Amino acid sequence: MEDQRVAVVTGASRGIGRAIALALGATGHAVVVGYASNDAAAEEVVNEITAAGGRAVAARADVAEEGDVAAMFDTAVAAYGGVDVVVNSAGRTALAPIAELELDVLDAVHRTNIRGSFVVAREAARRVRSGGAIVLLSTSVVGLRFPRYGAYAASKGAVEAMTLILAREMRGRDITVNAVAPGPTATELFFEGKDEATVEQLAKQPPMERLGTPADIAAVVAFLTGPGGRWVNGQVLRANGGII
């Protein structure tokens, strides 16, 4: 299948990344399921894609390590011949007031979210074929400014900046670069550390009065990386149900 498009998705063993990998597999992409540590969860995603008639392989990688990321892209080339789509969904969060956040926690968040996004984006810029697409994951909290999200929002603000610059650096190569910024989305990462009242409050904020789902975000990514999204470039899409 030499004409099949090939997608590399990081953070694809759970949550939004998993939904993105499944969505791209369902739209005909061969998928490299990038993941940090959970072998079994990654293999489950691979098995789900292949059971539906798609092609997929897992690749373990720390997104902040350039050798790991290069090897993940090498896996895509060896298995499927190249890379057309890259989605960096790997991320880390930490909730605390800025006055109380430990700096080692700040460093860990920024290592994954800023350095990791940069390493993946850099490799994508070097490897993605003409006609391809690069999507980085941000967060609507950059605009919503929720208290306790200072470290996380700061890291994702950096992701948005590099997205907009990389889109312009890809001039002449027919490669789109965009960011998707989910609002509150029902994932394990979102529910962690939140009581029922907090979850209910956040779910009521969008006019649609519910949390987003990983499938909601995956559908936006599938659009941006598909034929219908070719004229969307250098943008940050706030996929949050209208929350303000």
Nearest CA among 236, 214, 243 for reference residue 144: 243
- Residue 103 binned pLDDT confidence (cut-offs 50, 70, 90): very high
Q: What is the CATH number of the domain that holds 34?
A: 3.40.50.720
Mean pLDDT score, 102-106? 98
Whether the model pTM is above 0.85: yes
231 lies in some domain = yes
Supply the pLDDT for residue 2.
62
Tens of pLDDT, residues 186-230: 998 788 878 899 999 999 999 999 999 999 999 999 999 999 999
149 lies in some domain = yes
- Residue 31 binned pLDDT confidence (cut-offs 50, 70, 90): very high
58 lies in some domain = yes
- Residue 133 binned pLDDT confidence (cut-offs 50, 70, 90): very high
Tens of pLDDT, residues 66-102: 999 999 999 999 999 999 999 999 999 999 999 999 9
1 lies in some domain = no
Supply the pLDDT for residue 172.
98
Supply the pLDDT for residue 38.
96
Would you call 35 a catalytic residue per the annotation? no
244 lies in some domain = no
91 lies in some domain = yes
Domain span at residue 35 reads 6-237
- Domains held by the chain: number: 1
63 lies in some domain = yes
Supply the pLDDT for residue 191.
87
Q: Exactly one of 35, 80, 149, 152 is catalytic; which is it?
A: 152
181 lies in some domain = yes
